[in-house]
A and B are shown apart, each in its own frame.
Chain A
Amino acid sequence: MERRAIFSAKVGFLFLAPALAFVAVFLLYPFVRVFLLSFTNQTLLGTTAPNPEWVGFDNYRRLFDFDRWMRLGEFGSALKITTQFVIGSALIGQVGLGLLIAWAFYRKKGVLRETVYTLVIMAWIIPETVVAFTWVAFLDRDFGTLNALLDAVGLGQPDWLFKHPLESIILFNSWRGAAFSLLLFSSALETIPPSYIETAEVAGANAWQKFRDIFFPLLRGHILTDLILITLWTFNVFTPFLLTGGGPARRTELVSIYTYRTAFHGQHEFGKGGAIAVVMMLINFALALVYLSLIRRRRVHG
């Protein structure tokens, strides 16, 4: 059905103008600017601050210096850590947990559901500096709650943030962001007509068959949308810095933290930081296109 227009395109544009201005100045302009920046040797301080020089592909050559790029603290290592982090905490952790919880409480009401939902949302909305502190406490080797529990069942007291730092931030980020997927999936589940489920139940379908044959095909679009957003957000997330500072020995240095260290610490190398940003954005674009093509394919095949 065609929506009726209430007013003309000209008036509509006036309503949209402030938003367009923000998008142009704070999204489009930085996006273009960062490409130009990545070909210069701009820094924050020193002689190259006021008069940056054009250096061609130098910054990119330094990023892709394959003799050293997989060493800890280099670009290749940051990319590898980020990939593990995204697969572990976004795809398995957040999307998996969100789907699992939403499905477990589908068509259920009451105190169990309210309790779990409230706790998941708390983890999501409490300020990031605060949850970083509570997680440092939670994971502490000697006093932490996690090790107190593990010790009680005889599993020892591993030093999480020093011996297993990547696993720690993956667990942390799964905990932190599961709420978005949970809320998205639980409102998507509400759109499934109850008659579908009832028919399947009458036919004797078990839980797994219902999930595979009804939920999954109907929610595929929502799952893909959720996957795109969660993947991009996790790729860019900076919060683990507050937990580990990228350490120990740069073993949790995600690309976002690597960028921060390059552009906003030490030498403040904006040119090189710009080159990293360009590569990150290109990877993000590629990921978004892959997911979008999967969504399109579903439409083509009905």
Chain B
Amino acid sequence: MNRYRIRTTTSRALLLVFAFIMSAFFALPLLWLLTAPFSTQANLAVKIPETPSLANFEAVFRNKFAIRALFQNNLIIGGGVMVLVASVATLASYGLSRTRVPGRDVLVYILILFSSVVSGTAAMVPLFLLIFNLGLIDTYLGVILVMTGGLLPSGIFIMRDFVDSIPRSYEEAALVAGASSFRMFRDVAFPLVRPGVMVVAIWAFVNAWGAFLIPSVLLRSPEHMPASIAFYSFYTEAGTPNLTLVSAYAFLYTIPVLLLYLIVNWRFGFRFFGGIKS
């Protein structure tokens, strides 16, 4: 029973104060998102509306451009990135795990570093020209491919832990029984790594869902824009945002991310996937 030192009241009180300060710091900037969407005359203040209303959401749903951005364009881009990243990362980490590749841990580490170097606006300059030359400017495919390229190294990194943790004996048995490598992957290994595939898929989807820079550089026509850019349809001609509608749209845009977080947290526990070996 006495394995752990009995904590003094002081250290408990200190932890309570610390937790309170941290909670305040991380929660206060988000409060506006909970109050403004339900107020008919929202400004930048956090104020619980006296008569909460859903009128803002009705107005948002009348904006066809913004609704298509959210429920069509975002789903196409997010879905495409999700499928590509999850499948390519699963195949790659499985291939890495089950072949004798010398220095494969270092390889994945270098890949992560390299993708962190070739990223952001610096990478967008040559990537724009690449997509331009491929004739994929203003297409969903161009956006999906560029996002997949950027997310893939981290996706492999996350997936690696799941693949390494499944036992090999089933696969060896399947091979002895005469299954081909790909059948063995599909019927034996894949079902075992499915939780990992789900985690990588959701992670990729959430990343693509919120992205701003890549679509704003690679897309041109309004009907292709995702929600991150469609916010501008709630600005007046003078360039000031209509805050009540912006907040309601932001609320709708955030809900799927929170739901996916809850699913991951409930099924797997939200933790650091892909343990970094020092």
Contacts and interface: CB of A to CB of B under 8 A. Distances in A.
Interface of A: 3-9, 11-16, 18-20, 22-23, 25-27, 29-31, 33-34, 37, 42, 101, 104-105, 107-108, 112-113, 115-117, 119-123, 125-131, 133-138, 140, 142-146, 148-149, 175, 178, 183-184, 186-188, 198, 201, 220-222, 224-225, 228-229, 232-233, 236-239, 242, 256-257, 259-260, 263-264, 270, 273-274, 276-277, 280-281, 284-285, 288, 295
Contact of B231 (A26, A129, A238): A129
* B-side interface mostly: helix
Nearest to B101: A12
B3 A198 contact: yes
A107 B15 CA distance: 13
B121 interface: yes
B247 interface: yes
A225 B15 CA distance: 28
B79 interface: no
B266 interface: no
Interface in B15-45: 15-16, 18-19, 22-23, 25-33, 36, 43-45
Contact of B123 (A13, A129, A277): A277
Shortest beta-carbon contacts, A-B, top 4? A221-B278, A26-B149, A15-B95, A12-B99
Interface stretch (B48-56, B58-66, B108-116, B193-201): B108-116
B100 A127 contact: no
23 contacts: A3-B97, A6-B98, A9-B100, A12-B99, A15-B98, A23-B111, A27-B118, A30-B127, A113-B19, A125-B257, A126-B210, A130-B33, A134-B30, A134-B32, A145-B46, A225-B276, A238-B120, A238-B121, A242-B212, A263-B125, A270-B128, A273-B125, A276-B122
Given A116-B22, A221-B278, A232 B117 contact: yes
B172 interface: yes
B246 A131 contact: no
B150 A116 contact: no
A237 B120 contact: yes
Counting chain B residues whose Cβ lies within 8 A of the other chain, the interface size class is 35 or more
Given A6-B168, A134-B33, A19 B122 contact: no
A7 B168 CA distance: 12
A284 B278 contact: no
A144 B28 CA distance: 10
B91 A15 contact: yes
A126 B257 contact: yes
Nearest to B100: A5
